[in-house]
Amino acid sequence: MTLGDNQISASETPAHQAPQGRLGLLSLSALGVVFGDIGTSPLYTFKTILGASEQTPDPASVLGALSLVLWTLFIITTIKYVLFAMRVDNDGEGGILALMALLGVKRQHRPTIVAVGLFGAALIYGDGAITPAISVLSALEGVEMATPALQPYVVPAAVVILLALFAIQSRGTATIGHLFGPVMLVWFATIAVMGLIGIARHPAVFEAVNPLYGLSYLVSNGATGFLVLGAVFLCVTGAEALYADMGHFGARPIKLAWFAIVFPSLILNYAGQAALVLNGAPTDGNIFYRLCPQTLLLPLIALATLATIIASQAVITGAFSMTRQAIQLGWLPRLAIKQTSSEGYGQIYVGVVNWLLMIVTLGLTIGFRKSDNLASAYGIAVSLTMLMTSALLFIAMREIWGWGLAAAGAVAALFLIIDSAFFLANLTKVAEGGYVPLLLAIGVYGIMWIWHRGAAAVSARLRETLTPLPTFMAAVAEKHIARVPGTAVFLTRTEGGAPPVMHWHVKHNRALHEHVFVLRVTVQSVPWVSAADRLSLEEVVPNVWRAEARFGFMERPHIPELLAASKALGCTVDLADVTYYVGHETVIGREDGTGLPAWQERLFAVMERNSVHVSDFFSLPQDRVVEIGRHVAI
């Protein structure tokens, strides 16, 4: 049984169902949530590309590098994500987990697709730890150009800012979140104007629009040109967010913001930086800040720092949302999820994830100390996630769109070849720090895998001793078990039969309520389930009901509200006198040696003991819950 976290009110609707009149407002909001990561990449991308060649850049290499950036933005972000991936939505939701669920992994045994989807999701946690560190460091490093004496304070200042950022997560960002969009609008306008200033010094820079410059750069520089791809990839590290955040705003607002504001601003700024270098500007230090007049440098540093904080906030919030999806789909243990605002479903806080990300982010900041050093660790996680997304998109083209093998193969091959090139280029940076996101991903994937195996083993063990519900109730009548007033709601993870917790209750208390409601909650492979499909109900014997409640992986089950809705389906339970019975499993190893390996059983037992209680997960009233302990050997 895969469970949800909190209730969903009738007033809440998925973002993709928002009225058309709010398109402009949603596009503005998307600037602050979706595009923070990719929007702040000009701070460090171009200087990293030129630094990766380890040679004084000549005009051909500068134009070649710019051409690679422009065409990477166009092919990866615009074509792959905006025009293709965002058309493959799971009831309006996007992201690699939503795509995995859309491909029917709960209805079919598809272990390869599951492995690809889960490991791709796990890699995003690595991105979530690195993005705040590299973004804030790259913004603050501008003070070295304004006042070199402040250079020793860059890392301490970054640590303080990041500490404050993670510390305020539990309070939510609903109040200041309204400012994110306008601030990022100012940021994109600023970098576009800066780019135009640079272009005015060397207008011929737009020759880089010709892709032959990029191809010539790769061919003429051999191995060095290939390795530079790892730095070029930094310009699209936030592209996965366009797809993953589709459910918050809808596809149209994100596309509008990309084509009208973000894409043009990025092109202008990268071209401006290249033009500045072609005009003879030195390449040491941060090229981005050289576009700014000296008198405006400090205000720009302040704006850049604010923009990187917003970008970091978006990544952290994305990690929270992905955690909730994984919990709903049954791949992570139940964690405490706090709704920080009633204004939006995405306003949540997951304490465990927040503090673990904080520890890793601060460790990266202190350990690497400079954005140039962190660039080596950055990119490998996102490039591998994008590679996996391309593989899943190929299956989606075939199974969902019904494309022929030739057409789907041709499009997917283009994406896979480019993604593979970027991944292989980033793979060379493993020893320089790329191992960090890979280790994080392996750890998260291991937790997901063990939790799912353990939960499946518990369910299988419980099914071994099931008694059909009519048979069980006949035995209750035959043994003259006392029937007491009220309604008993038994939560179960089994598909049929009398719940084990019901067995134990009757066995130990020698009584059963007059009205019995056996409830199983399942999470579907869609984000939202309609009210008409929410609940199926049958009266097995008089006054004994068996029900299955269905929720999407973006919804929050609330059992008391569900019981109230059951009255409309003819259920006669007494809602004024309800007692909820839940089982609390203590997992132990099987003595016959046929269960899970001992180390997996122990790890699962630890996660089970520390997961959020089922009653909290279902928002059950604490004074009406009876918990029955039991040992389950797996």
DSSP assignment letter at 630 = E
Q: Identify the domain containing residue 178 by its residue range.
A: 23-428
In this structure, the number of other CB atoms found within 10 A of the CB of residue 601 comes to 21
Residue 225 domain-assigned (yes or no): yes
| CA 72 from centre of chain | 23
Residues whose CB is less than 8 angstroms from the CB of residue 192 and which lie 6 or more positions away in sequence, other chains included = 264, 265, 268, 269
- Which tops the pLDDT comparison, 414 or 57? 414
The residue out of 373, 406, 428 marking a domain boundary is 428
Residues 289 and 188 in one domain: yes
pLDDT digit string, tens, across residues 114-165: 888 888 888 888 877 888 998 899 899 888 877 888 888 899 999 999 999 9
Residues 576 and 471 in one domain: yes
3-class SS of residue 626:
strand
Residue holding tokens 């702040």?
A: 40
Burial status of residue 360 (CB atoms within 10 A of its CB: 0-12, 13-18, 19 or more):
buried
* CATH number for 58: 1.20.1740.10
Burial status of residue 477 (CB atoms within 10 A of its CB: 0-12, 13-18, 19 or more):
exposed
The residue out of 428, 446, 481 marking a domain boundary is 428
Residue 8 domain-assigned (yes or no): no
Phi-psi region of 186 (alpha: psi -120 to 50; beta: other; left: phi over 0): alpha
Residues 406 and 490 in one domain: no
Residue 450 domain-assigned (yes or no): no
So what's the pLDDT on residue 15?
Answer: 45
pLDDT-based confidence at residue 508 (cuts at 50, 70, 90): confident
So what's the pLDDT on residue 434?
Answer: 81
**CA–CA–CA angle 292, 297, 300 (5° rounding):** 90
Alpha carbons 441 and 91: distance in angstroms, whole number: 27
DSSP assignment letter at 448 = H
For the cut 60, the answer to whether the pLDDT of residue 55 exceeds it is yes
Kindly calculate the radius of gyration of the chain based on its CA atoms and give it in whole angstroms: 27
Residues 255 and 402 in one domain: yes
Of all helices (H) and strands (E), which one includes residue 579?
strand 578-588
Residue 134 domain-assigned (yes or no): yes
Beta-bridge partners for 629: 584
So what's the pLDDT on residue 12?
Answer: 37
Residues 534 and 409 in one domain: no
Burial status of residue 289 (CB atoms within 10 A of its CB: 0-12, 13-18, 19 or more):
buried
The secondary structure of 557-614 as a DSSP string is: --HHHHHHHHGGGT----TTSEEEEEEEEEEE--TTS-SS-HHHHHHHHHHHHHSPPH
Beta-bridge partners for 349: 338
Q: What is the mean pLDDT of residues 602-628?
A: 85
0.85 exceeded by pTM? no
pLDDT digit string, tens, across residues 331-351: 889 888 887 766 555 678 889
pLDDT digit string, tens, across residues 438-464: 888 899 999 999 998 898 888 888 777
Residues 355 and 501 in one domain: no
The domain tally of the chain equals: 2
Residues 164 and 48 in one domain: yes
Tokens of 452: 């799912």
CA dist 341 → 15, 165, 166, 252, 277 (Å):
16, 18, 17, 25, 47
What share of the chain in percent tops pLDDT 90?
31
Alpha carbons 102 and 86: distance in angstroms, whole number: 13
Strands 535-541 and 348-350: unpaired
For the cut 60, the answer to whether the pLDDT of residue 4 exceeds it is no
Residues whose CB is less than 8 angstroms from the CB of residue 114 and which lie 6 or more positions away in sequence, other chains included = 100, 105
Residues 491 and 387 in one domain: no
Residue 17 domain-assigned (yes or no): no
3-class SS of residue 628:
strand
Residues 321 and 417 in one domain: yes
So what's the pLDDT on residue 556?
Answer: 78
Which of the residue ranges 268-272, 538-542, 589-593 has the most confident prediction, judged by mean pLDDT? 268-272
β strands within 240-365, DSSP E:
337-339, 348-350
Beta-bridge partners for 489: 517, 580
Phi-psi region of 537 (alpha: psi -120 to 50; beta: other; left: phi over 0): beta
Residue 9 domain-assigned (yes or no): no
Residues 515 and 405 in one domain: no
Residue 74 domain-assigned (yes or no): yes
Amino acid code (one letter) for 617 = F
So what's the pLDDT on residue 175?
Answer: 63
pLDDT digit string, tens, across residues 14-44: 444 444 557 888 888 888 888 988 999 999 8
The residue out of 428, 444, 478 marking a domain boundary is 428
Residues 399 and 538 in one domain: no
> For the chain, first and last CA: distance in Å?
16
Alpha carbons 126 and 378: distance in angstroms, whole number: 9
pLDDT digit string, tens, across residues 59-89: 999 999 999 999 999 999 999 999 999 888 8
Alpha carbons 315 and 360: distance in angstroms, whole number: 14
Residues 237 and 95 in one domain: yes
Residue 105 domain-assigned (yes or no): yes
Alpha carbons 213 and 206: distance in angstroms, whole number: 11
195 and 273 Cβ atoms separated by less than 8 Å: yes
pLDDT digit string, tens, across residues 183-237: 999 999 999 999 999 999 999 999 999 999 999 998 888 777 888 888 899 999 8
So what's the pLDDT on residue 346?
Answer: 61
Encode 233-243: b = buried (16+ Cβ within 10 Å), e = exposed.
Answer: bbbbbbbbbbb
For the cut 50, the answer to whether the pLDDT of residue 7 exceeds it is no
Alpha carbons 22 and 28: distance in angstroms, whole number: 10
For the cut 60, the answer to whether the pLDDT of residue 5 exceeds it is no
